Each structure stands twice: as structure tokens, then as C-alpha cells.
């Protein structure tokens, strides 16, 4: 039976010597979906350069991966064994650049280092030394996990991915249950400073102000974009409905009632926004 769900893209980041681990991550994600998606209305989507990119000229290769794939991902799972990867011109490797970029956005990152046995003659000494230095750099930031074999790796990723979904504030905000708001027509009193807003913009602003966080969250599901404000959600029914509420959000931005604070995903009420919201509350 069909159902609507929030899709969370999960970036799989690694150099080229951990193919089995990349497949293990995909298997864990598919297993999670099989068990949890229907009940939680959340679907995890594994994303990797080898499956989600295409040949293209005109920019740095890693820059294309960043803009086409990484920037839309909400979680990153990184895994290393003996190599750090190829320098990109901006970072020591593409995987390192992906990790640092994701951390800078304040999104959850899970990083694993393999301790599997390896034939000494197959190790690139320079790569291995750079990898160890990078690992030591990450340790103070609390980003490091290790594993001895593929079975242990799958077990750790499965458990820790669930913990991340349950406890990470960014992901909890994406996956919190919301109630669909019925379209309403309301007449609002005059707004301060001669601000003119549509009924939809007033409704969206008022809904956001009902929570102390004053946040409007923009996310995508299978039926289109959805705006979540307080405990209500708007749009997502079809393209026309989604466009109406997108326009309402644009109004609030133009009037400086909300500010974009998270890559066009999180919008927060400004001081002016709180004042106007108070003026239009029932």
C-alpha cells in the first residue's frame, strides 16, 4: 500500500579500497528501510558517486560531486582501510573534502576505520601515513570508530545509524511526526509597519510561532516539497499546493520575517517575525 514518507539521503564516502564495506552500508540501509520505513514514514536513500554521478565537464570533479550529491545529503557515513584517497586541489582527498564539508554544515557524520589484516606489500606507504595522520586529527572531535571484520562493521553501522536517527537533533527535526493542516481562510487584523501578507503567509508565520524554536523546516517527500511549522505541515499534496506554500515562505523572507539559516532547509523567525506573529494570533 502506498504511503508518504520523508526521504533522508545518506552519503557513502570512501576511497577505492573498501568496496565490500560500501556494499555493506547499502545492505544495512536497505534492511533498515525494510523494518522501519512503513511505520516511521522515513526512507533512507544510500548515495554514492559510483551510482549517482554522470560524466560532465566544466568544473572540478569533486566540486561536481559536492554540488550534485553531497549538498543534498543529511547523513554521511565514511569508511577507510589503507588509503586516504586522491587529492582534489582543495583537500587531501575527495573523501576528506566530503567529510569536512558535511561537518561544516552541522550535519551528522559517522566515520569508520578498518583494522582488517592486509598484505604489507600492497600498502602504499605514503597513503597509509596520511590516513593515520587524518585519523589522529579526527579523534579529538569524537568522529572515529573501528572494526575488525565485515560482520562487525555491519553490526556497528546498523546499531549506530539507528542511534543517530533517534538522538541527533538535526535528524530528529527532519523526522518528527507532523499533522497535516487543512487549508483555511482567515481574516487577520492590520499588521504593524504596513506589512501586507497573504493568508497563507500569515498562517505559516502563526504556525511557526506556536513553538519556542520559531522554525520553519523545508523538506521533500514523494509528493513534493513540504513546509513544517510547529506541529503542522503545509504543501506536498501536489505541485500547485506546494507552489502556494513556497510562495508564502518567499513572502516571509522578503518581509524579513524569517531568515534562511540552513542551506534553504531551516528558516527561523526574526525579531520582526515574532512581533508580526503576535499581531496576527487569534
Most confident of 45-49, 131-135, 208-212: 131-135
Q: What is the pLDDT of residues 250-278, one digit of tens each?
A: 999 989 999 987 667 888 999 999 989 88
pLDDT band at 119 (very low <50, low <70, confident <90, very high): very high
Q: What is the pLDDT of residues 218-235, one digit of tens each?
A: 876 555 678 888 888 888
CA end-to-end span of the chain: 39
Q: Which of 197-201, 211-215, 277-281 has the lowest mean pLDDT?
A: 277-281
Q: What is the pLDDT of residue 65?
A: 47
- In angstroms, the Cα distances linking 47 to 73, 76, 169, 188, 252 are 8, 9, 22, 45, 33
Q: What is the pLDDT of residue 94?
A: 85
Q: What is the pLDDT of residue 90?
A: 81
Give the residue carrying C-alpha cell 568522529. Answer: 143
pTM of the predicted model, to two decimals? 0.59
Q: Which of 32, 18, 159, 157 is nearest to 79 (CA)?
A: 18
Amino acid at each position: 500500500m502506498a504511503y508518504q514518507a520523508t526521504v533522508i539521503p545518506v552519503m557513502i564516502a570512501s576511497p577505492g579500497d573498501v568496496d565490500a564495506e560500501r556494499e555493506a552500508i547499502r545492505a544495512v540501509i536497505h534492511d533498515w528501510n525494510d523494518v522501519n520505513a512503513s511505520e516511521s514514514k522515513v526512507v533512507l536513500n544510500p548515495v554514492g558517486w559510483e551510482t549517482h554521478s554522470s560524466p560532465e565537464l566544466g568544473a572540478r570533479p569533486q566540486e561536481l560531486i559536492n554540488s550534485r550529491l553531497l549538498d543534498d545529503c543529511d547523513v554521511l557515513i565514511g569508511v577507510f582501510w589503507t588509503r586516504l584517497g586522491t587529492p582534489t586541489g582543495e583537500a587531501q582527498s575527495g573523501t576528506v573534502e566530503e567529510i569536512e564539508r558535511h561537518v561544516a554544515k552541522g550535519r551528522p557524520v559517522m566515520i569508520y576505520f578498518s583494522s582488517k589484516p592486509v598484505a604489507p606489500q600492497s600498502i602504499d606507504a605514503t597513503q597509509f601515513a596520511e590516513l593515520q595522520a587524518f585519523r589522529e586529527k579526527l579523534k579529538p572531535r569524537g568522529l572515529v570508530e573501528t572494526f575488525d571484520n565485515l560482520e562487525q562493521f555491519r553490526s556497528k553501522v546498523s546499531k549506530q545509524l539507528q542511534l543517530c536517527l533517534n538522538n541527533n537533533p538535526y535528524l530528529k527535526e527532519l523526522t518528527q511526526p507532523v499533522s497535516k493542516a487543512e487549508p483555511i481562510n482567515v481574516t487577520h487584523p492590520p499588521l504593524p509597519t504596513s506589512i501586507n501578507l497573504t493568508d497563507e503567509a500569515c498562517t505559516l508565520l502563526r504556525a511557526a510561532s506556536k513553538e519556542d524554536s520559531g522554525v520553519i523546516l523545508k523538506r521533500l517527500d514523494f509528493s513534493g516539497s513540504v513546509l513544517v511549522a510547529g506541529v503542522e505541515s503545509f504543501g506536498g499534496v501536489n505541485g500547485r499546493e506546494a507552489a502556494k506554500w513556497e510562495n508564502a515562505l518567499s513572502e516571509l523572507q522578503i518581509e524579513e520575517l524569517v531568515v534562511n539559516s540552513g542551506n534553504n532547509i531551516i528558516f527561523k523567525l526574526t525579531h520582526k517575525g515574532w512581533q508580526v506573529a503576535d499581531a496576527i494570533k487569534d
